[in-house]
C-alpha cells in the first residue's frame, strides 16, 4: 500500500511538472510576440522552477509509509535543500552567463511558482 501511495504522489507531482511545462511553452510563445530575448527569458525563468520542482519530486517520492517515516522526512529535507540550492545556482547562471532580460526572467519564474497555488484546481487526484 505504501508503495502505491508513493507512486500516486510521484504521479501527481509529475503531472504538476507537465502542467508547468505547458504554461512555460505558452509563456515562450507569448514572449515571441514581443521579442526573442523576452521569449527566451520567460522560458529560462520558467525552466528554473520546473527543473527544481522535478528534482524535488523525484527525491521526495522515492519512499513512503509508516516504516519509512524517517527516510521520507530525510528525503524531504534533502529534496527541499537541493531545490533551493539548484534554484539559486540556476538563477546566478542565468543572470551572469545568459543574455536574458531580467524582468522577463523573473516574470516567467513567478508565473510558474504561482501555478503551484492553482494546481489543485487543475490536477485532480485519481
Cβ–Cβ < 8 Å for 63, 49: no
Per-residue pLDDT reduced to its tens digit, 12-24: 888 889 999 999 9
Q: How many CB atoms lie within 10 A of CB 30?
A: 12
Q: Single out the residue of 54, 33, 31, 49 nearest to residue 100, CA to CA.
A: 31
Per-residue pLDDT reduced to its tens digit, 33-62: 999 999 999 999 999 999 999 999 888 888
Query: Does residue 109 carry a pLDDT above 80?
Result: yes
Q: How many CA atoms lie within 13 A of 83 on its CB side?
A: 18
Q: Give the model's pLDDT for residue 117.
A: 85
Amino acid at each position: 500500500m505504501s508503495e502505491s501511495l508513493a507512486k500516486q504522489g510521484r504521479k501527481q507531482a509529475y503531472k504538476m511538472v507537465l502542467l508547468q511545462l505547458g504554461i512555460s511553452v505558452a509563456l515562450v510563445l507569448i514572449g515571441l510576440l514581443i521579442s526573442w530575448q523576452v521569449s527566451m527569458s520567460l522560458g529560462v525563468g520558467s525552466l528554473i522552477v520546473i527543473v527544481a520542482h522535478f528534482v524535488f519530486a523525484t527525491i521526495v517520492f522515492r519512499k513512503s509509509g509508516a516504516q519509512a517515516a524517517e527516510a521520507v522526512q530525510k528525503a524531504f529535507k534533502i529534496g527541499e535543500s537541493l531545490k533551493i540550492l539548484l534554484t539559486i545556482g540556476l538563477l546566478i547562471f542565468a543572470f551572469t552567463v545568459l543574455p536574458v532580460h531580467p524582468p522577463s526572467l523573473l516574470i516567467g519564474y513567478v508565473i510558474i511558482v504561482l501555478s503551484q497555488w492553482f494546481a489543485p484546481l487543475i490536477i485532480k487526484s485519481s
